Structure 1
Amino acid sequence: MSGRRLPPTGWLPVAASWRDDTLRVDWSFFGEQPLREPFFDDSVQHALRKPFNRLFRYQTPIERLPEWLQANRHLQPDGFIFHMSRCGSTLVSQMLGALPGAIAISEAGPVDTVVNARRINPDLSEDDQVRWLQWMISAFGQARRGDERLFVVKLDCWHTRDLALFRRAFPTVPWIFLYRDPVEVLVSHRRQPGMQMLPQLVGADRFGLNPDLSWQAPAEYQARVLAGICEPMVRHDTPDGGLLINHRQLPQAVSTLIMPHFGIATDAHEQTVLTEAGSRNAKMPGDAFVNDSAGKQHDATATVRDLADRWLTELYRQLEAKRLGQPTAHAVSLG
């Protein structure tokens, strides 16, 4: 079904693509199923395995989203999660998503398509892109079960470079930036590179880098990508709703710092749920959470340490100085 009919309640955007200079949104049916998977793409793959979603599809121009939003109750985000990558952001989104009545969206592809829209279509105005981002994120806040009370969005790591766009679209929504000792992040990507480290999947320009740099040594390219992620957070001098969190503060910082910053208060039962979620491996929930910082430091080669010193150590030092100088937030009850 394309264009003429809007999907009913229970459908979510699962992809967005360009056709004839129009951004079109593909939808799949999720019903009341909560999104418990570590990443939104995991939830999409699970949904697409259902015969119903292979037989029935909706595709609509993005300009029809306001009409759909008017007909479907939805929440506005309580907080955005920006991150350096491999620094605990999935753990944070999984913990918050485990709370009763929570919606936690993690790295949804349609959001990135909108963030990247003006790079694909330079004729798109800044005002239209802001509206598209507002509509798309609101669509993910759909109240499919009826008990939803909070909504958090974890973004892709390269979205730090689009902070101004998010602040324009959601000027009152608080946000956090999670980061980690760069040596440990580099070791993680050396073991298993993330898609952001593969320029054929995520262009070097998304990190403020010349595309020609994608042909340099992979280890140095990885370090420069991480620098490109962190630089905007170092340059962003005003508080502007932001809070810096170091990986080593997790998981305790979720309840002591992040939830108060997002204005989320919990009762004793919900704190138990949060603690249980924080005890599990975020990307493999069947396993227990283990702090692997010592192992990563042990495995760091001289090359990794040299690259960290060259491209990241000063950025990390400045982030730490900003974090230690930031004010403490106070919880605000949702009730």
Structure 2
Amino acid sequence: MNDRNRNASTFLANAGWGPASRVFLAGDASDRRYERLHLASKTAVLMDAPPGKGDDPRDFIAIAAHLNALGLSAPRILAKNLQHGFLLIEDLGDDLFARLVEKDPSQEAELYAAATDVLLHLQSNPAPQGLANLRAEDWAEAASFGLTWYRFAIAGDAGDTAKFSETLTQALQTHADGPRVLILRDYHAENLLWLPERAGIARVGLLDFQLGQMGQPAYDLVSLLQDARRDVSPQTEAAMIARFQAASNTQNFDAAYATIGAQRALRILGIFARLCLVAGKAQYVPLIPRVWRQLQRNLAHPALADLAEICALWLPEPSAGALERIRAQCGTNQTR
């Protein structure tokens, strides 16, 4: 037993869950991992977030408290050891939106309508104090991963990152730089659970929100509808955009949606390439073509003509050969 497992066992024993059986539940793009615990008729989830790896369980606790205070369904905190990065949290079950829609596509409209209503409710309430609130320049810099990692992995250089950031900054300032709201950032079908025994917006269980910050109203809706892991039907995407826009009474929303969609797709292209090159996680490479298609749809908006031009100049298409070049470098750039 390594030190991490030993510390986890001690934490669970102190929380009264020492005899529980432990089954791996999930991991993600970060260093966090989750285990489901079974103790007699009870279940819970162990969140293992190693200290110093980027995610602080304190952030999960703070955002969860805010969400639950709004009548939403974030996991309750059952026990914590912040020194070692362990949380014992409520088990919200296995009915992820992604699984339910895969089994029965007819559920997509109902589930996504509920998820859209959660965003509308969340954004209609004040956000917690003290959250990061990035400038347009910061959002553009984050999207430069599309050059510094995605392009680099294929072409061997990062291209003109200064001109790229300048162009995207201008687009964000023009079309998507208004009043900020709380965004959860990873708001998609693999982080949402269906809880039909609850009522209204509480039927949507929320996960992976610890990086919540201040951001643009369109951001989480883009995350939901332009999912890097699955295709949302065009009909559902159009209906949810209309639902969100009508309820929030936002102006020029189509340009904001396309701009945030382009920013997010550019960043994800870079993140997926980096996860392969640095962390050796090749499983993200097959997702790149879907994100590329989403990027192209966003760039087709007339408001993004300048950004489309610079992306066409510097971003190589994810051809079969390009994807193979990324795979061939998996785990080889750990010091870059």
Output the TM-score relative to the length of structure 1: 0.30
Q: With a CA cutoff of 8 Å and minimum separation of 6, indicate the structure with the bigger relative contact order.
A: 1
